[in-house]
């Protein structure tokens, strides 16, 4: 997800100042079948509990998607505070509506709960991107980190089924991506990850560094890399880069090495480095100075219809719930406007300090592309 049209959307906002909701994120359920060691949802005193009666009904989610179509949203991203595929039947219904309206769709999943019919339908309809949180290139490492035996084999079985239907329908879609969380248990196997990706025709590997928030748990602390591990990780990733290049597997390895993000794998001011200090001070418009474009382009809806201002943090829009308001009401509500004004003054929210490194890098990437386009269009 994230492409030239994402950039064009921001260029349009720059030209007329009107916020355009580009990405809508839907969190369908907190229910999960795994018990991953790095999972904040499962580990932090079971803070993110599964309470079925709190979840939006199928009918309410369908209305959200119909609103999104009317509101010209460009991409919808499905995720869970748990495993989204617990609501596979709903996803099946939503994806027909979404693709029929030419909206791009992605899902982040642990990859274990697909069913045969859904896989076939996803291929038929041209579902865009599936991000599978696989933490090891074999059952031993992956299943230990994901907290359940059999996880690796189920993922592999499902990927094979996707490949079967993709061949049958002569389709490249959905693109499958691995999103492993870097930890003490897997820092030395990314070359093997690439080989696995090649074997199963996976499009990319996007390593996620562990964030500060995971340190709140004993197990989270145990997964942190020491300085020695980080050195060995660098060696392994250099090897992985060569294999990935040869086999045309996209990845974020170079970014992790060249920007030394891996050194921040135990968190620390990633946002300061890549968001705050990456402002665009030399452009005339205030908008170009904002540290992050999220308040103009992004909205996240929680399992109970509450609105999150950002996918990285849990801060909510207090006065609105999607159960009682449509997307347009929320998008132009006072709290969103205040947040945009704060960003226009160049200041971030408190939680931005803990911006996810992958998101921070993406913001940086988008800004660089926008700079190029603005120079090209002579808009300076
Ligand atoms: S699959 Fe996701 S939600 Fe479930 S335990 Fe693992 S990280 Fe947490
Ligand atoms: S946490 Fe990151 S993505 Fe979210 S608003 Fe702050 S800078 Fe933007």
195 lines ligand 2 (CB under 6 A): no
Closest among 95, 94, 89, 88 to 111, alpha carbons compared: 88
pLDDT recorded at residue 259: 57
For residue 46, give the ligand nearest its CA.
1
CA of 32 to the centre of ligand 1 (A): 6
* pLDDT grade for 258, boundaries at 50, 70 and 90: low
What's this model's pTM, rounded to 2 decimal places?
0.88
178 or 220: whose pLDDT is higher? 178
Q: What is the rounded distance in angstroms from the CA atom of residue 172 to the CA atom of residue 204?
A: 13
* pLDDT grade for 44, boundaries at 50, 70 and 90: low
pLDDT recorded at residue 125: 97
Which of 1-10, 86-95, 260-269: highest mean pLDDT?
86-95
223 or 28: whose pLDDT is higher? 28
144 or 368: whose pLDDT is higher? 144
Q: How large is the average pLDDT for residues 122-137?
A: 97
pLDDT recorded at residue 215: 58
CA of 41 to the centre of ligand 1 (A): 7
pLDDT in tens, 170-185: 999 999 999 999 999 9
pLDDT recorded at residue 271: 41
Query: Which range is least confidently modeled, 54-68, 126-140, 252-266?
Result: 252-266
Report the residue among 340, 359, 362, 365 best suited for mutation to probe ligand 2: largest number of ligand atoms under 8 A from its CB. 359
CA of 120 to the centre of ligand 1 (A): 25
Q: How large is the average pLDDT for residues 192-217?
A: 84
Q: What is the rounded distance in angstroms from the CA atom of residue 41 to the CA atom of residue 4?
A: 33
pLDDT recorded at residue 245: 96
Which of 29-38, 120-129, 283-292: highest mean pLDDT?
120-129
pLDDT recorded at residue 106: 98
349 or 131: whose pLDDT is higher? 131
């Amino acid at each position: 997800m994230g492409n030239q049209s994402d950039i064009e959307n921001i260029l349009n906002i720059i030209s007329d100042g009107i916020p355009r909701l580009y990405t809508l994120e839907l969190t369908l359920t907190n229910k999960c079948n795994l018990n991953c060691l790095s999972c904040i949802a499962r580990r932090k005193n079971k803070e993110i509990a599964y309470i079925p009666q709190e979840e939006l009904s199928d009918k309410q989610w369908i209305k959200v998607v119909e609103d999104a179509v009317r509101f010209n949203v460009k991409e919808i991203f499905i995720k869970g505070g748990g495993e989204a595929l617990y609501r596979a039947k709903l996803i099946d219904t939503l994806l027909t509506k979404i693709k029929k309206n030419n909206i791009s769709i992605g899902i982040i999943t642990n990859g274990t709960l697909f069913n045969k019919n859904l896989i076939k339908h996803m291929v038929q309809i041209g579902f865009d991107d599936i991000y599978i949180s696989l933490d090891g290139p074999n059952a031993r490492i992956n299943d230990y980190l994901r907290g359940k035996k059999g996880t690796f084999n189920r993922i592999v079985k499902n990927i094979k089924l996707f490949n079967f239907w993709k061949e049958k329908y002569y389709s490249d879609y959905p693109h499958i991506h691995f999103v492993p969380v870097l930890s003490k248990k897997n820092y030395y196997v990314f070359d093997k990850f690439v080989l696995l990706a090649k074997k199963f025709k996976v499009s990319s590997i996007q390593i996620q560094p562990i964030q500060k928030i995971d340190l709140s748990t004993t197990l989270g602390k145990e997964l942190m890399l020491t300085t020695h591990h980080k050195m060995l990780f660098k060696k392994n990733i250099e090897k992985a880069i060569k294999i990935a290049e040869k086999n045309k597997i996209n990845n974020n390895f170079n970014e992790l090495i060249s920007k030394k993000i891996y050194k921040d794998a135990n968190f620390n001011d990633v946002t300061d480095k890549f968001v705050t200090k990456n402002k665009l001070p030399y452009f005339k418009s205030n908008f170009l100075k904002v540290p992050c474009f999220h308040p103009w382009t992004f909205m996240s809806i929680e399992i109970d219809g509450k609105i999150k201002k950002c996918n990285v943090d849990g801060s909510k829009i207090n006065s609105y719930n999607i159960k009682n308001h449509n997307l347009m009401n929320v998008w132009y509500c006072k709290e969103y406007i205040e947040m945009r004004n704060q960003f226009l003054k160049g200041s971030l929210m408190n939680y931005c300090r803990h911006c996810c490194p992958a998101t921070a890098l993406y913001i940086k990437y988008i800004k660089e592309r926008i700079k190029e386009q603005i120079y090209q269009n002579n808009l300076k």
